[in-house]
Amino acid sequence: MVRRDVWLVTGGAGYIGGHIVARLHAAGRPVVVYDDLSTGSAHRVPDGVPLICASVLDEEALAKALVQHEVTGVMHVAAKKSVPDSMRDPVLYYRENIGGVVTLLAAMVHTGVKKLVFTSSAAVYGMPSASIITEQTPAEPISPYGYSKLAGERMIADAGRAHDISWLALRYFNAVGAEGDQLADRGGTNLFPVIFRAFAAGKPVAVTGGDFATHDGTGVRDYIHVADLADAHVAAADRLTRGPAAQVLNVGTGKGYSVLDVLAALRKVTGVEVPYAIGPRRDGDPATVIAAVDRVREELGWSAQRDLDQMVASAWSARQATDEGMR
C-alpha cells in the first residue's frame, strides 16, 4: 500500500496559508498547520487539522513536527510580508524570512523530507522595465522583503542540489479576495483593505498616480483571487508527487487591472458610487506589472479561474462580516 503524502503548511493559520490548508483539507489530503499565531488565527484552522504553535526559527520544534506527523512535504508560507515594514525594519525581515528558510531546510535535511513548495513573491523583480513579467525577467529586488524572498529561492535551489530536495517556488503577484468570512484578509497595507477602509468611512479613496501610460492613467497590477492561489498549491503538491522538480513559477492571472478598474468593480458590487482623489505617484511605482503565466500552466496544468468582480465581491463580503463581528 502506497502511503499518501502528508503536507505541513507553515503559516497555515494566516490569510493565504489558511486558504491553502482549507483546500487541502477539503480534498481529503492529510495536512498539518505550523504557525506561531503572531499574525495568524487558530480560528482559520479546520476542525480535525493538527495545529502546532511554534516559530519557524525553532529547528527542534520543526523537526519534531515533521517526524511526529510523518510529513512528506512542506509548504512554506510563513513570512513577514509588508514591503514598507521591511524598509523600516530590515533586520526583522532578514531574521524571520531568511532565517526561517535556513531553519526549515536544516530540519528537512535532518528528517529526510524531500518535497518543498515555497511562497515567493513578484517583489523579487523590483521595478521591471517590461510590463509582462516572465520568470526570465531579471530579479532585482528593491526592498528587504524582496531580497529575503530571492535569498530564500536561492538557498532552496542550493539545498535541493545538495540534498536531493524537490521544490517549486511560486512567485505570487497580488493576492486578494476570500473564501468565506473566517478566511478574510485582515491586513492593512494591501490595496483592497485600503480602499475598503476609506469607502466604509465615507472618505475618498487616495489614488497614487493618475498619469501613468495605462488605459486610464492609474497603475495596473495583476490581481489573483486567493482561492485560485490555493488551487495552485494543490497543483504544485500534485506535481511534486509525480516526480522531481526544481523551478520558479509566476502565479497570477496574466491580466492587468487598474486602480480605477478595482473601484468600478466595487461600485458594481455595492451599487454605491466610490469617490476617489488622485494624488502624486509613489517613487518607484511602475505603470504596469502583469505576470506571464505560460510556464505555470504548462508545468502544473493550472490557471486562474476567477475574475475581478469575483475578487472584489468576495473581499467586500468578508470585510463587511469582519467589521460587523468586531462591533
Q: Phi, psi (5° rounding) for residue 117?
A: -110, 120
Q: What sign does the dihedral 54-63-27-313 (CA atoms) show?
A: positive
69 close to 8: Cβ distance less than 8 angstroms: yes
DSSP assignment of 71-111, as one string? --EEEE------HHHHHH-HHHHIIIIIHHHHHHHHHHHHH
User: Who contacts 236 (Cβ-Cβ below 8 Å, separation ≥6)?
Assistant: 75, 117, 168, 170, 249, 300
Whether 94 is catalytic is no
| Residue in 34, 145, 257, 276 annotated catalytic | 145
d(CA 228, CA 219): 23
Of 75, 101, 96, 57, whose CA–CA distance to 10 is shortest?
75
Any idea which residues carry the catalytic annotation? 145
